[in-house]
């Protein structure tokens, strides 16, 4: 199978890839320090890939501060587009296959339908646009790629919605949560498992794929589930997005169709609430 190089090893998904590699006894997975794997340093990247000679490179590095991206356009563009291009070029020069992680935010999300990989991507914020431009760069520069769009990523690691809700729920008696943005949470451990499934399949079915947990929910119902599963007593009020405006506009409906990834790689995807139960039990055990 060859070596697997994880870029962005210190982030949420990078940490989950490390945990899953250990659980599944997958050897030859390399987690370089950020200084050695800076996707904005083309020379450094080339040197790293030349030294390690990985068969696969997984890009978990991204600018993900959705609201801040509206002000930090150049930085978001540098990391999400130029960084992706740098990595694609380094993979091409060293014969590696790239697995690049993208987002549901490439879609406008103004229609209630399951989003397919070949549906028109029309981002409505800077973050989404830079991630789409990163996808396009990878596609243009490297044939041997798998791009995986995911959504609402959370885990027991790093900062995310689940951990924020547990913290706020312990501090407050009442919370207002947006109820008119609908999507699907993704447990990063499940995504990490899917990434290794793709690698171990030895498939050359390159291209775009969608992955999130199964099911559909709103941020409000997601929060309610977090408090229900964790036995946190807090009153949760559903509010419309208009009451809590953010700098970046979010898609109103961004539920992705996962048929392609399931059939191509024979992947079984857990229901979102089942994975949430698993994650919260891990957080409580920390």
Measured between alpha carbons, how far is residue 30 from residues 93, 141, 249 in Å?
Answer: 19, 24, 37
Q: Vertex 144, ends 140 and 146: CA angle to 5°? A: 90
Fold of 4-160+184-215+254-270: Rossmann fold (3.40.50)
Per-residue pLDDT tens over the stretch 126-146: 999 999 999 999 999 999 999
DSSP annotation of 121:
P
Average pLDDT rounded to a whole number, residues 208-237 = 98
Domain ranges of the chain: 4-160+184-215+254-270
- pLDDT tens for residues 185-215? 999 999 999 999 999 999 999 999 999 999 9
Ramachandran region, residue 109 (left: φ > 0; alpha: ψ -120 to 50; beta: rest): left
CA distances from 119 to 55, 88, 107, 112, 253 (A): 30, 24, 9, 13, 14
pTM, 2 dp: 0.97
Pairing of strands 207-210, 29-30: unpaired
Would you say how long the chain is, in residues? 286
Of 127, 154, 187, 209, the active-site residue reads 127
- Catalytic residue list contains 244: no
Q: Inform me whether the pLDDT recorded for 1 exceeds 90.
A: no
Q: At what angle do helices 219-229 and 161-171 cross, to 10 degrees?
A: 60
pLDDT for the residue numbered 37: 95
How much is the average pLDDT of 253-269?
98
- Which tokens sit at 270? 């857990």
């Amino acid at each position: 199978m060859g070596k697997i190089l994880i870029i962005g090893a210190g982030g949420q998904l990078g940490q989950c890839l490390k945990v899953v590699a250990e659980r599944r006894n997958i050897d030859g997975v390399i987690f370089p320090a950020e200084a050695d794997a800076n996707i904005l340093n083309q020379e450094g990247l080339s040197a790293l890939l030349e030294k390690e000679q990985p068969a696969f490179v997984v890009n978990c590095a991204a600018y993900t501060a959705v609201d801040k991206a509206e002000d930090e356009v150049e930085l978001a563009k540098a990391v999400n587009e130029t960084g992706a291009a740098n990595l694609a070029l380094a993979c091409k020069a060293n014969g590696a296959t790239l697995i690049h992680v993208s987002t549901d935010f490439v879609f406008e999300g103004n229609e209630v339908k399951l989003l397919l990989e070949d549906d028109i991507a029309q981002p409505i914020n800077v973050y989404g646009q830079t991630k789409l431009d990163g996808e396009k760069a990878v596609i243009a520069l490297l044939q041997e790629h798998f791009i995986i769009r995911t959504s609402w990523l959370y885990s027991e690691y790093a900062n995310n919605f689940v951990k924020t809700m547990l913290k706020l729920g312990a501090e407050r008696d009442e919370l207002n949560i947006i109820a008119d943005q609908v999507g699907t949470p993704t447990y990063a451990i499940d995504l990490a498992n899917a990434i290794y499934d793709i690698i171990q399949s030895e498939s050359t079915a390159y291209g775009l794929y969608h992955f999130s947990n199964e099911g559909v929910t709103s941020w409000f119902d997601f929060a309610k589930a977090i408090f229900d599963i964790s036995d946190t007593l807090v009153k949760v009020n559903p509010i419309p997005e208009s009451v809590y405006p953010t700098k970046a506009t979010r898609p109103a409906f961004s539920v992705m169709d996962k048929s392609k990834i399931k059939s191509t790689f024979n992947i079984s995807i857990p229901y979102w609430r089942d994975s949430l139960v698993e994650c919260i039990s891990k957080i409580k055990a920390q």
